Amino acid sequence: MPVFYGEELGSALMLGTAGYPSPAVLERAFRASGAGVATVSLRREAGGGQDFWALVQGLGVRLLPNTAGCHGAREAVTTAQMAREVFGTDWIKLEVIGHADTLQPDVFGLVEAARILCAEGFRVFPYCTEDLIVCERLLEAGCEVLMPWGAPIGSGIGLNNPFGLRALRAAFPGVPMVVDAGIGLPSHAAAAMEMGYDAVLVNSAVARAGDPAAMAGAMADAVQAGRAAYLADPMERTDMAVASTPVLGRAFL
């Protein structure tokens, strides 16, 4: 099971809390997922914040607050500081958004914010791209986990750049990594785990499914299968057929 900042989780599935049809559906999805981490956020109190706090307390999972919607390092740092106090954790999913349509991270602001937050004792989970050099800079800044995107947030596209994700996994073999964003189907989650990623973070694929609890269960199964396959050391792929039935002893007819 994945270990982040010295803490072992009970599941390689991390689940978001946004966009469910109702709090009851959210709760059922979490139970079905067996997820060990729930992502949460901070917003101006407009009623509901205290009820939501009670709900997530009852889930019995580790909370990972995010800085979603922040468009600059300074804003993200302040949001992280506020989240640490509200949620009582130094874990932070650091998002510094750079592009309105793709929600692509502003990797320059991300590295800047990560450096400040790591120095302040935060355990930073940076939402990043699969760029090797950006990830190297994040590690230098003090991050001990990387969270490359699969595809744009909420798109359900899956793993948009499997080559890049595979290269990133190979470049930093000892670093825990989570594929975050873009997962739409259990097969996408399984593919990430088969590559050797330590966990996946899913939200919209579950929340926007017709039956969120059933999809949460399917995601949990996929993550388990993908991890087991990775540990089983998959066969190498070839472009030509390799006969599986022995040729020796074949009848002459």
Partner 1 sequence: MRIVVNGVPREVVATTLAGVLEEIGIVGRFATAVNGAFVPAAGRGMALSEGDAVEALAPMQGG
226 within 8 A of 191, measured Cβ to Cβ: yes
- Of the candidate spans 48-56, 144-152, 169-177, 212-220, the one that interacts with partner 1 by CB under 8 A turns out to be 48-56
**Considering the rule CB under 8 A, would residue 125 count as an interface residue with partner 1?**
no
Applying CB under 8 A, among 3, 10, 24, 49 the residue interacting with partner 1 is 49
Q: 77 CB contacts (<8 Å, ≥6 apart)?
A: 113, 116, 117
Applying CB under 8 A, among 6, 8, 22, 44 the residue interacting with partner 1 is 44
Nearest distance from residue 65's CB to partner 1, in Å?
Answer: 7
Q: CB nearer to partner 1: give 159 or 202.
A: 202
Q: CB nearer to partner 1: give 15 or 141.
A: 15
The pattern of x and - marking residues 2 through 41 that bind partner 1 according to CB under 8 A reads --------------xxxxx-----x------------xxx
In one letter, which amino acid is 209?
Answer: A
Q: Quick check: helix, strand or coil at residue 53?
A: helix
Nearest distance from residue 89's CB to partner 1, in Å?
Answer: 12
Look at the chain and count its residues.
253
**Considering the rule CB under 8 A, would residue 83 count as an interface residue with partner 1?**
yes
Q: Quick check: helix, strand or coil at residue 65?
A: strand
| Distance from C-alpha of 218 to C-alpha of 222, rounded to nearest angstrom | 6
Which of 93, 115, 123, 188 is catalytic? The answer is: 93
Q: CB nearer to partner 1: give 127 or 230.
A: 127
Largest CA distance in the chain: 81
Size of the site for partner 1 (CB under 8 A): 37
15 within 8 A of 35, measured Cβ to Cβ: yes
Applying CB under 8 A, among 87, 125, 149, 230 the residue interacting with partner 1 is 87
Applying CB under 8 A, among 6, 22, 45, 239 the residue interacting with partner 1 is 45
**Considering the rule CB under 8 A, would residue 65 count as an interface residue with partner 1?**
yes
14 within 8 A of 178, measured Cβ to Cβ: yes
**Considering the rule CB under 8 A, would residue 42 count as an interface residue with partner 1?**
yes
42 within 8 A of 86, measured Cβ to Cβ: yes
Task: From residue 95, give the alpha-carbon distance in Å to each of 28, 120, 127, 227.
Answer: 27, 17, 5, 26
| Distance from C-alpha of 19 to C-alpha of 207, rounded to nearest angstrom | 6
Copy the structure tokens of residue 7: 């803490």
| Whether residue 93 lies in the annotated active site | yes
Q: Which residues are catalytic?
A: 93
Q: Which residues lie near partner 1 (CB under 8 A)? A: 16-20, 26, 39-45, 48-50, 52-53, 56, 65-66, 68, 74-75, 78-79, 81-83, 85-87, 153-154, 201, 203-204
